[in-house]
């Protein structure tokens, strides 16, 4: 048995009264766990196993399906649950992690980043910006970062354009531009925004004024990049998010 901090990524009904939850654990990465009786209103697991709860979970680890033994809730994130837009965004945040990681896959630092983001979401104001920052920082940590300083097709570091290719995964140089099938032209400031988000703290980013048009353009490209490179199937929760 292991005892670890974990965040509930998703919860799925099975059998009469049981559920299977997907957890992002601090020690073991992504873990699937069977929870007996969680749908009985009186079960101690009924409220503690809801998505984006954070707690200390004791799990019997089996080969591909663990079993939940105990849970002590530490962060129910009530301010998120009071706001429907924040519920949708938190649901998306959990789904992104769930679909980006294979079962049992662990990424250094990911647990802390997701846990901090959920706390930050409680008081976040600009949810569009919040989502973009979360997307870029999480995918960079997992190992997918848009290439901005070398051509994503040939690797050249000279004669770079401000065109981005989803398929290639970043900027394209002058030589590769003619053969690029999905290049979209961006302003230099758009690329600087991506770089700024990747390199600055969440608090610093929130203090900078970013136009809605720029935000939408960069966020739309980032969504496509994630769909192409990061997740294993389409993100259902994306449909619930207003402007995306």
Assess 118 for contact with Zn ion (CB under 5 A): no
- Please list, in sequence order, all residues whose beta carbon lies within 8 angstroms of the beta carbon of residue 108, skipping any fewer than 6 positions away: none
Q: What's the token pair of residue 158?
A: 């000279």
Nearer to Zn ion, 72 or 174 (CB): 174
Q: How many residues bind Zn ion (CB under 5 A)?
A: 6
Nearer to Zn ion, 124 or 172 (CB): 172
Shortest distance, CB of residue 150 to Zn ion, whole angstroms?
Answer: 8
CB atoms near residue 173 (< 10 Å): 20
Binding residues for Zn ion restricted to 196-215, rule: CB under 5 A: none
User: What does the alpha-carbon distance between residue 4 and residue 7 come to, in Å, rounded to a whole number?
Assistant: 10
Among 21, 114, 136, 176, binds Zn ion (CB under 5 A): 176
Shortest distance, CB of residue 17 to Zn ion, whole angstroms?
Answer: 57
User: From residue 129 to residue 168, what is the string marking binding to Zn ion with x (rule CB under 5 A)?
Assistant: ----------------------x-xx-x------------
Per-position DSSP letters for 192-241, written without gaps between them: HHHHHHHHS-HHHHHTS---HHHHHHHHHHHHHHHHHHT-SS--GGGGGS
Nearer to Zn ion, 115 or 168 (CB): 168
Among 100, 129, 173, 215, binds Zn ion (CB under 5 A): 173
Shortest distance, CB of residue 167 to Zn ion, whole angstroms?
Answer: 13
Q: Which stretch binds Zn ion (CB under 5 A): 138-146, 162-170, 171-179, 226-234?
A: 171-179
User: What does the alpha-carbon distance between residue 64 and residue 68 come to, in Å, rounded to a whole number?
Assistant: 13
Torsion of CA 160, 161, 163, 166, to 10 degrees: -10
Rg, the chain, Cα only: 20
Nearer to Zn ion, 140 or 156 (CB): 156
Shortest distance, CB of residue 185 to Zn ion, whole angstroms?
Answer: 16
Shortest distance, CB of residue 195 to Zn ion, whole angstroms?
Answer: 19
Cβ pair 58, 1 in contact under 8 A: yes
Shortest distance, CB of residue 154 to Zn ion, whole angstroms?
Answer: 3
Per-position DSSP letters for 89-148, written without gaps between them: HHHHHHHHHHHHS-TT---TTHHHHHHHHHHHHHH-S-HHHHHHHHHHHHHHHHT---B-
Shortest distance, CB of residue 173 to Zn ion, whole angstroms?
Answer: 3
Nearer to Zn ion, 6 or 151 (CB): 151
Determine the 3-state secondary structure of 38 from DSSP: coil
Which residues are near Zn ion by CB under 5 A?
Answer: 151, 153-154, 156, 173, 176
């Amino acid at each position: 048995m292991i005892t670890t901090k974990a965040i509930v990524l998703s919860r799925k009904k099975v059998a009469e009264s049981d559920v299977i939850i997907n957890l992002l654990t601090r020690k073991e990465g992504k873990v699937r766990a069977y929870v007996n009786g969680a749908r009985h209103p009186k079960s101690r697991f009924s409220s503690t196993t809801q998505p984006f709860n954070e707690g200390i979970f004791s799990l019997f680890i089996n080969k591909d399906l663990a079993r939940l033994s105990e849970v002590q809730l530490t962060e129910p994130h009530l301010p998120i649950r009071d706001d429907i837009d924040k519920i949708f965004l938190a649901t998306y945040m959990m789904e992104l992690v769930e679909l980006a990681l294979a079962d049992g896959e662990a990424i250094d630092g990911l647990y802390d980043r997701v846990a901090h983001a959920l706390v930050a979401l409680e008081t976040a104001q600009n949810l569009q910006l919040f989502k973009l920052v979360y997307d870029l920082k999480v995918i960079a940590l997992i190992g997918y970062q848009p290439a901005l300083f070398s051509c994503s097709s040939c690797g050249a570091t000279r004669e770079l354009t401000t065109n981005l290719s989803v398929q290639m995964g970043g900027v394209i140089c002058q030589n590769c531009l003619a053969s690029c099938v999905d290049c979209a032209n961006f302003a230099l400031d758009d690329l600087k925004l991506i770089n700024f988000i990747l390199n600055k703290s969440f608090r610093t980013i929130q203090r900078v004024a970013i136009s809605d048009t720029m935000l939408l353009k960069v966020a739309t490209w980032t969504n496509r990049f994630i769909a192409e490179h990061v997740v294993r199937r389409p993100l259902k929760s994306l449909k619930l998010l207003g402007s995306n």
